[in-house]
Amino acid sequence: MTTDVKLKLGTRASPLAMVQAEEVRDRLCAAHGWDKSQVELVPVTASGDKVLDRPLAEIGGKALWTKELDAWLAEGAIDASVHSLKDVETVRPDIFTLGAILERADKRDRLIGADCIAALPPGATVGTSAPRRAAQLLNQRPDCKVVMFRGNVATRLAKLAAGEADATFLAAAGLARLGEDGVGHPLDVDSWLPAPSQGAIAVECRSEDEQAQQYLAALDHIPSRAEVLAERTLLLALGGTCHSSIAVNCDYTGGELTMRAVLFSPDGAERVEGEARFDAGDSTAPALLAQDLLSRSSITIRKLFESPS
């Protein structure tokens, strides 16, 4: 049996991240006829996994999920990094490229603790550290109280079980990948929009590494790439940050994308919605939708977004 390593894949060491890296390894092996030993998983404990007592936006934002892997990738210690794309900054170093976007999993959030938002008890305490989830909840249920929940899936479920909140939200894709797809109740995207790129696994490599790009290209799912790149283009045009309350859903059908996006004030009292339909690969349309949303937003919402550089 040959054991020469074809690719070293860097990944966060969290249980979900490891499952996602294993999925990438399995797909690479299936696509290229490799043995599992030929794809080495290289885990790292990311900064974002070390500090769990404060909101992500207060301690450095999404870069805390990527900076260790970025350093390894830049210096050649690994050949590629596996990411949950929703956790990756919109602006990335030019030395990296998205070598593959795997077929997107379930985009929805799941509510754990009640059958639906309307079924939450009056004045319910809901745990989340995501501005999007908090604002979207308060828009529909202003009587609820939001408390901070951070940590991996098991940690947040344990906090819920310990009575720190009446309910919480988790991404359906993450739960399914961990074999917990029976936990909670899915929230329909018609009434509850997900985060940009939710459900998408991305594999990043060096822009100059043609061999890695060739290997990864076999995993790339064109419709999923079109959806998430459009959502990231919207986010870039908005100047969205970890403080921004933005929800978006983009669907690919026959080479065309339908995008629906909503901006919220932090307290959920204000909501601005827009929709666009355009050809896959059109980066102008998401930017125009972003411009339209901001033009109709109050200063309360606009101050949560930075002008793109």
Catalytic residue numbers read: 87
Residue-wise DSSP of 24-86: HHHHHHHHHT--GGGEEEEEE--HHHH--SS-HHHHTTTHHHHHHHHHHHHHTS-SEEEEEGG
Q: How far apart are CA 117 and CA 224, in angstroms?
A: 28
DSSP string covering 185-196: EEPPTTTS---T
- Report how far residue 195's alpha carbon sits from residue 261's, in angstroms, rounded to the nearest whole number: 10
- How many residues in total does the chain contain? 309
CB under 8 A, 24+ apart: contacts of 148-154 = 148/54, 148/55, 150/52, 150/53, 150/54, 150/55, 150/56, 151/52, 152/14, 152/15, 152/16, 152/49, 153/15, 153/16, 153/178, 153/180, 154/15
What's the DSSP call for residue 123? T
Q: Which residue reads 């030019």 in tokens?
A: 94
Distance CA 77, CA 68 (A): 11
